[in-house]
């Protein structure tokens, strides 16, 4: 059974960089059949897709955050990471990592729904 676990500082100062890591266990992050994704949820609010990474290194980011976001992969540790620069109070949220399956057949591929999620980690931006 695949498990994802977020880790990182729970408190970040305004204007600094938020850095989180997602450790994947029970499967290899380099299998080539998944996108690895970050999603966030402010307290009491809805879900916002931040971006995703494929094992080739290709990325896709939410345009609302694109100038501040980097998602990267560390296959040696079976981890992927999120960096969000110049944070403000509006970035305070629970941050989730998740897995998005990729279904390939006959030379074409199609993405799927998020099938496994981490438990989430609360990040507060405050001085």
Q: Which residues lie near other proteins (CB under 8 A)? A: 46-49, 52, 60-64, 96, 98, 100, 108, 110-115, 117-120
Q: Which of 90, 113 has the CB closer to other proteins? A: 113
Cβ 115 to other proteins shortest distance, Å: 6
- Contact yes or no for 65/50 (Cβ under 8 A): yes
Cβ 119 to other proteins shortest distance, Å: 6
Q: Which of 18, 38 has the CB closer to other proteins? A: 38
Strand ranges, E, within 10-115: 11-12, 18-25, 34-41, 48-54, 59-61, 69-74, 79-84, 93-105, 108-111
Q: Which of 15, 25 has the CB closer to other proteins? A: 25
Q: For residues 30 and 49, what is the distance between their CA atoms, to the nearest angstrom? A: 22
Cβ 49 to other proteins shortest distance, Å: 4
Backbone angles phi, psi at 89, to 5 degrees: -60, -30
Q: For residues 84 and 89, what is the distance between their CA atoms, to the nearest angstrom? A: 13
Cβ 75 to other proteins shortest distance, Å: 23
Q: Which of 21, 49 has the CB closer to other proteins? A: 49
Which residues partner with 59 through β-bridges? 53
């Amino acid at each position: 059974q695949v498990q994802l676990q977020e880790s990182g500082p729970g408190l970040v100062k305004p204007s600094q960089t938020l850095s989180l890591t997602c450790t994947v266990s029970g499967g290899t992050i380099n299998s080539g059949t998944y996108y690895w994704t970050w999603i966030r949820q402010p307290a009491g609010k809805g879900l916002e897709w931040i971006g995703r990474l494929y094992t080739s290194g290709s990325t896709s980011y939410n345009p609302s955050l694109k100038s501040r976001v980097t998602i990267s992969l560390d296959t040696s540790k079976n981890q992927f990471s999120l960096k969000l620069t110049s944070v403000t109070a509006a970035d305070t949220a629970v941050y989730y990592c998740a897995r998005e399956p990729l279904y390939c057949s006959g030379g074409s591929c199609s993405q799927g729904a998020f099938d496994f999620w981490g438990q989430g980690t609360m990040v507060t931006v405050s001085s």
